[in-house]
Structures are given as C-alpha cells and as structure tokens.
Structure 1
C-alpha cells in the first residue's frame, strides 16, 4: 500500500492543472460553492407547475423549526375530507396536539424498551441504538396512525402552537437528557420484577408529562369549534372529543390504510411485509408494517388515489438533487458532472446499502401530470415549509426523481393491486433497528 508522498502529490497536481476546465470551474465554486455553481437553469423549463390531475388541498402550512413533517403531511392529507365534511375552503389541524401525544408515547415506548433490554450489555448495539435519539421529532405513517386511532385530532384553534412546538430543538434536548437518566435508573435498579420496574417507569413518565404540559400546553379532553362555511353560514360543534371529531369529520377507517415501500435491496424481496424492531410510538398499537413493492406499483397506487380525488402521504429523501427555493426535485437539477468532473454511479439499492440515501422527509402528492398514454411526467407536491419556496409552497417532482428517491407512500388498500396485499396475510419480516427502512421523516 502506497503512502501519500511528494511524488504522488506532484502527479495529482500535474493531472489537475492539465485540465484547464478545472481552473475555470474552481473560480465559480470558490465564489458561490458547489451547489450554486452546478445549478442547471434549463431545468426550470421542465417544471411549469401545471398538472393534468389534481386533488383538493388546503392552504400551505409551516412546520417552522421542527421535524414534524410526517405529522403535517398526514394531517394535510386528512384535512381534505374534513374540508368536504365542513364545507370549507381550507382547514388546519393542531400539529401541537399530536406532537404532545407523540412525545409522551415515544417516551413510554423508549422506557418500555429499556425495561425489555435490561439484561443487554451496556455497550451492545441495541442499547446504543435505543439511547441514540429516544424522542426525536421524526416518524413514519404507521406511527401516526396509532396516534390518530388512540387520540384523534383537533382543529388548530383547540390547541394552538407554542414556542416549543414550533421550535423543538431545546425541548428535545431536555427530554433526551431526562430519558437517558431514567434509562440509567431502570438499568441500575436492583428491582427484578416487571411490576416494580413499571412502577419506576410510571413515576419517570409523569415527569416527562410535566415537562410537555409546560412546553406545549394542556391537551383538551373536549372542545368547541366554531366556523363559517363557504356560504358564510355560522356553525358551532360543541363539547366534542378529539377522537369523535376525527371519526366524524375525517371518517377514515385507519385499518384500511396501507404503507407501501420501495426498497430494491437484495435482502428485501418484493411482495413481503416488513416491520422494524424497537420502532414505534404507541406501545399497544399495531406494529409498523409495510409492503415492499416495485416502484411501478408504488406509482400506480398513488395515481389511482389522486385520480379518485385523494391526496397521498409519502416519504422521500428530499435533500437529493433538489432546488429548495424553486421547489424542484429533479435528477438534472445540478450539473455536478461538469463541476466535480464526474457523475454519481450508485443505484437506488446501493445508496440504501451504503448509507447514501434514506427516507428523510414526508410530504403530500396533490397532483400528477400524465402524458397522453397515462404515464407520469411530474408530480405535484404539497410541502409544509411555508409559502416562500416553490410555487407558494407547492413543489414539482420529476418522475425520474420519484424512481430514485421516493421510498414510501400511504394509500387506501383499494388503490393497491390485490396481489401485493396478500403480503399482509403472511408472516412479517423483522428488520434490525438500524435498517435504512427504519429511517424517520424529520426535515
């Protein structure tokens, strides 16, 4: 094996200087950086933000300095049915309400997992994984489904935003410090009975509840909601529970919803369902479960739902080849082959295997542009980063980008080819906690 010595460095320098393009490009990169120097302005012509098929949607929302994208996108998907039920042009659910329950339930899930692994060595990979980020903002659809089923949902006015719902970093930091302390208390406890350890957990969980209530406010057990409909008629919904509100004004059968993923790695055959160990929010809820299908099946289900007027929750790797200000996700967004000097060669499976890509962000498909043969050209995306980026908060995704960086969707089972649904009746394959398909949408 050769070391980096002067002869090696001299050869590198000579090779670099022999290509005059390097000198020209280096000036631009020094001035504005690789990304701006690589932007392909021609890509703007491909994305006119006009789509052949669209669904209803509400006004653009803003998750601010929090990782609640999965909540915002799920509630933005649900609110379309609420808008129809209430006869209003737009509507927004309280993301603070679901944040409260997510933090409390994640804390409980974490402490239960610490009890279950009490006999593991302190330095084991499982313990290190559990302690790494016990109460982060991120999540996946199945985790949110459990929250909706147990706690329902409320209008934004019933539990408005607070400083820490919109700015979760310090709250997460404080909760994590305490949960790691409580994990120590459980692991160092001389108690051996499960009941005694659970009693210890209950005491510590109250302390988390205390912090959350101070930061996010008291959650409503019942509330009254007043509004005017499209015809300016006044309505009052009195003394309703969050669960009853969700059931009446969203009306989803959560058991009919299914998560489809596309993970083309050799260890995850298509047509099987998967779960991830130690991943969840509601301890007593049905475990996370998704079916791995070819990307064409993912697209077909999404198109079926959109054509039927239903937005589609999805999870992707949003930071890849994306123009955030323009709101464009396209494989040709940057000419890195010209500025770096070569293209990138990992395929989708290899990116998952080598840690180059995973699900990072959740949004909503609210439209698709189909060609004359019914094939998708680009996808209309509702984001939750406010209205300053994209087309007033709307993003445009090329179909080729969908192929490479979209990993998960949630749709009603009726939009999925029956041959894939058979996986739900077969044994579920358990993935390790650190598997890339256990990644959470958190941007």
Structure 2
C-alpha cells in the first residue's frame, strides 16, 4: 500500500472526474454559491411547510446576538410563555443578562474550586488540561440554569437590560478566561508551597472580588430589588413595587423546577437505556443542582415532548443545530442537502457512531412549541429559536421528524408526563461520565 500521494494518482483522479458529464456544472454551481446552496433539495423545502396540528401560542422571538447563551434564552422563553399567557402580556422578555451575570460569576468560582480539588493531578494530564482549555464559557445545560434560578431568581429584561458585552461576549470571555488561568497558576503554586487552607481562601476571595468587578463593569449590577410595571393586552396598567428576583420568580413564573427532568437519547454502547447519568466537573453553582440525565429510546423522548406540547407547555431541547440545517430558511431536515447527487457519497454514520467519532454533539438549545401529527405520529416540529426574526420564518424553524431522530439529544419534561417505570428509573443513582464525554457538551451555538 502506497503511503504517499503520487503525481500519477492525481492524474488518475482527474481522468475519472472528467468522465462525469455533470462535473463542470456542479463545480461551477458550488464554486459560485457554496456547497449547501448548490445542493439544496427543494423537495425538503416543500415538505417542511410551517404548519402544525398541535401548536402553542407564543410571541416574538428573542435574539441572543453574538453570544452563546442559547440555553438561557431557551429556558427563559419557556418561562415567559407561561407568564405571558397567565398575565396577558405581549412580547415580554425576562433578563437574559441577569442570569448571564450570575452564571459567569458562579462558573468562575466553580473553576477555581475545581483547580484546588485537582491540585494533585499533573498539569499536563487530561483532566487539568480539560479544565484549563475553557475555564468558563457562555454555554450551559438545563440543570445549570436550575441552580442559578433557585439561588438568584429572575428579573424582567427592563430591570437588567442587555449591554455591549452581554450581546457580544467574545472580549469578555477572552479576558475572563485569561484571568482564571492566571488564578489557577497562583492557586496551584500556593498549594505546592504548602500554603494553608485559610491562605488559599483569602487569595481566592480577592480573585472573586476582581472578577465581580470585571462582570459589573461589563454587564451591569444585578438588582437586588426592582419595581415591575406593565400594560396587558386589555390596556390595564399594573405595578408591583420592591420585588426581589426570587419573589418575582415565585409569583410570576410560579414553577417548581424540581418537577422537571432532563431526558436524553444517547445510544452509545457505554450508556444503557433507562439508566441515569451525571458528568464529572460539569456545573456552575457549587452545591447546586447536579447534572442528571435519564437515557431513553428516541420514540419515548418524542412521546414525552408531544405530551407536554399537548398540555400547552413548550419544551426546552438540545440538539446539533449545525447539521443538515438551513439557517436562512429555518429548515432542519436530513434531506435538505443532496450531497449524494453532487459528490457521489453520503456520510454513513448512525447516531451512536457520530457521538463516538466526534462527528456530532449537542451544540444548541431551543424550544419546541408545536408538532404536526398524522394518524398520531409526528412528521415535523415547530421550533422557537433565539437568533432574532431574520433567521427562519420570523425566527421560528421547522424540524423534520427524521432530523429529530438523528440530531436531537435532550428534552426537559415535567415528571408528570413520565410513566411509573420512567419515574422509578429517574430515581436511580446516576452513573458518572468523564468531563469530555459527548453528553458533557454545552449548548453554546450562536
């Protein structure tokens, strides 16, 4: 077997390519328009008509701008759907920036504590290298959101609006990550020198003070109390004074977050179905809600999502949005691009193989707000995104059932929709996954 590419081999490839009568036309189309535009399948566009038999009434979509806060936007969207319906308010938003502030502050502390915990591990070992690669980021998971809401509550967007750095987070992330890596060097050095626990705690407190200042200057000061004023669709003006974020969540959102569970479909050999899983060193709030997944069949995951939609409640879900997806038209369908016709091949990996071979992971969180059922079976889904109204159909996407099967990994479901068997399975002690496991990926796409 030849190890090198020879001139003769390249000539052979060119000769074979020249035998294709459509080669020049395909080449011109792709060079001019790009692979996806040139291979778009109009049959998929027609099939993905944005009509749904079961649909939740929602409003104007939000826009996460140039940040990776999709998981926050998706969760807060599920909250505002309930709030807007209950209080008859149009296009109301909760402050994503408020949650973002506390997430970054808590992630910084989580990282510093992880560095202290792993001080005996080698600096070039896989675990410490993994921690240092991304000390914190915009992305997250449902259970991380639960930890934040339980500790800090929520506020209306008017109480803590967006800032330049909340909407364009790259510069803040780069500076904060560099600071955290510098802090990690200091803490590991102190431990090597035999400094006491009290000395470490004092230095870490100073580090957190500096981080708090950076976040306050960049994102604003989180309100400890605020006034809530709004006018409903009946033109009635409402006001409530001096609310705290926790009181606001309890009164206006009024959800018991402990009622909700993360259901996943990860069909790899190392994750048997109907068992629960957690991920080491994945989280944000020390002492908060740990990552907890229940792995089920894909058919079960979809049945649960349908039940919740039919109960008039939207569904937070995590997926790999970059696969077989057209951001402009808002179509997510495995048939949207016909690579076989253009290139003569398809990528032949099933869902488990894509996870095992790093071809797909959860990258983005959105909200299921509708489903189209034919004879009781789903064939397409309505998706509320957080990329503004210019993406998709006024910000909403249409997802085929086949795409759901291939690229959706997680939904968050009220426990009341779980069968007794699944509820019992949820209560099992979770199996622990390594930090770099595919199910440790964070929703961060923007």
Global fold match (TM > 0.5): yes
TM-score range, shorter chain: over 0.9
Q: Does 1:319 align with 2:294?
A: no
What displacement does 1:89 show? 2.8
Does the 8 Å contact 1:34/1:339 carry over to 2?
A: no
Q: What is the alpha-carbon root mean square deviation over aligned residues?
A: 1.1
Question: After alignment, is 84-93 or 325-334 more displaced?
Answer: 84-93
Distance 1:311 1:435 in 2: 28
Distance 1:354 1:257 in 2: 31
Q: Structure 2, unaligned stretches of length 5 or more?
A: none
Distance 1:362 1:327 in 2: 15
Equivalent residue for 2:127?
A: 126
Distance 2:348 2:143 in 1: 33
Instruction: Name the SS for the 1:20 alignment partner.
Output: coil
Equivalent residue for 2:18?
A: 17
Q: 1:192 to 1:292 in 2, by over 3 A?
A: farther
Q: Which of residues 343, 346, 359 in structure 2 aligns to 1:343?
A: 346
Instruction: Name the SS for the 1:236 alignment partner.
Output: strand
Equivalent residue for 1:114?
A: 115
Instruction: Name the SS for the 2:22 alignment partner.
Output: helix
Instruction: Name the SS for the 2:202 alignment partner.
Output: helix
> TM-score with structure 1 length normalisation?
0.98
What displacement does 1:56 show? 2.7
Equivalent residue for 1:54?
A: 55
Question: After alignment, is 126-135 or 21-30 more displaced?
Answer: 21-30
Q: Structure 1, unaligned stretches of length 5 or more?
A: none
Equivalent residue for 2:331?
A: 328
What displacement does 1:306 show? 0.2
Distance 2:397 2:387 in 1: 11
Q: Does 1:276 align with 2:282?
A: no
Q: Which of residues 304, 315, 327 in structure 2 aligns to 1:301?
A: 304
Q: Which of residues 257, 261, 264 in structure 2 aligns to 1:258?
A: 261
Equivalent residue for 1:369?
A: 372
> TM-score with structure 2 length normalisation?
0.97
After superposition, give the CA deviation of every residue in 1:62-101 in whole Å (9 maximum; x if it has no partner).
0001111000000000112211332223310000000000
Does the 8 Å contact 2:144/2:289 carry over to 1?
A: no
After superposition, give the CA deviation of every residue in 1:381-420 in whole Å (9 maximum; x if it has no partner).
0001000121111110000000000000111111122212
Equivalent residue for 1:198?
A: 201
1:200-239 matched pairs, under 5 angstroms: 200-239=203-242
Does the 8 Å contact 1:311/1:364 carry over to 2?
A: yes
Distance 1:71 1:13 in 2: 50
Does the 8 Å contact 1:274/1:429 carry over to 2?
A: yes
Distance 1:284 1:303 in 2: 33
What displacement does 1:192 show? 4.3
Equivalent residue for 1:408?
A: 410
Does the 8 Å contact 1:100/1:212 carry over to 2?
A: yes
Distance 1:231 1:36 in 2: 46
Does the 8 Å contact 1:223/1:238 carry over to 2?
A: yes
Distance 2:250 2:138 in 1: 25
Equivalent residue for 1:77?
A: 78
Aligned length: 442
Runs (4+) off by over 3 Å: 191-195
